[in-house]
Amino acid sequence: MRIVKRAGAAHLKVMKKQPNPANELIPKSPTLERLQAAARNCKACDLWKNATQTVFGEGKATAKIMLIGEVPGNREDIEGKPFVGPAGKLLDAALAEAGIDPTEVYVTNAVKHFKWEPRGKRRIHQKPNAAEIAACRPWLDAEIAVVRPRIIVCLGATAAQALLGRDFRVTQHRGEFLKSSLSPVVMATVHPSSILRVPDEKMKEDEMGRFIADLKRIPKSF
């Protein structure tokens, strides 16, 4: 595994914590179970008002791989679990093709409440803004601190920029192993939902192949 180390990579530094109501909810001796329970009461931003529930991360506290997406979707909001909708099913299939057991990874999102707008009877996903991402950052930091993954995989631009800085571009550094204080290795790739949105079946198949190839780069042992 070759780690790309770029000079002046200030965007790889952990974001400094700002005064944030969520910080007051973080348990003094956090475990995933305690964090999940505490996060149910988070009102650090206004997204909780229109969400069914907080959607916290899920997986083993000993997971060596952490996958971080953007924000829960409609199905996730209903079930209260991350990556259980169409994008989650595609992710599970891609992990299996890459030889990674989905039950051996920890999955979460940069933002824990579903952001949406009504369109007829449907709830359409909306991209979280910088303030909403910052409001939820203490929960993500706490998850990383408890799990202590060996590799973090950012799924999509929102997760990548939340962790690696606003100037980070997945298109430029997709699949690279980046040195970071967050974990020994950080990698960024596309979000599986972007593959679902590809209209052409041949292009969708190609994108799925590229996504699987990115996941295959993850070491099977650490």
Joined tokens for residue 215: 């996941």
pLDDT attached to residue 7: 28
Q: Is the pTM of this model over 0.75?
A: yes
Report how far residue 75's alpha carbon sits from residue 121's, in angstroms, rounded to the nearest whole number.
Answer: 14
In the chain, the percentage of residues whose pLDDT exceeds 70 is 91
How do residues 18-53 score in pLDDT, each as one tens digit? 579 999 999 999 999 999 999 999 999 999 999 999
| 100 pLDDT more than 70 | yes
SS3 (DSSP) at 67: strand
3-state DSSP assignment of residue 19: coil
| Whole-angstrom distance, CA of residue 157 vs CA of residue 208 | 17
Please give the domain boundaries of the chain with CATH numbers for all domains: 12-216 (3.40.470.10)
- The stretch 58-65 carries a mean pLDDT of 96
pLDDT given at position 221: 67
CA 88 to chain centre: 12
pLDDT class of 6 with cuts at 50, 70, 90: very low
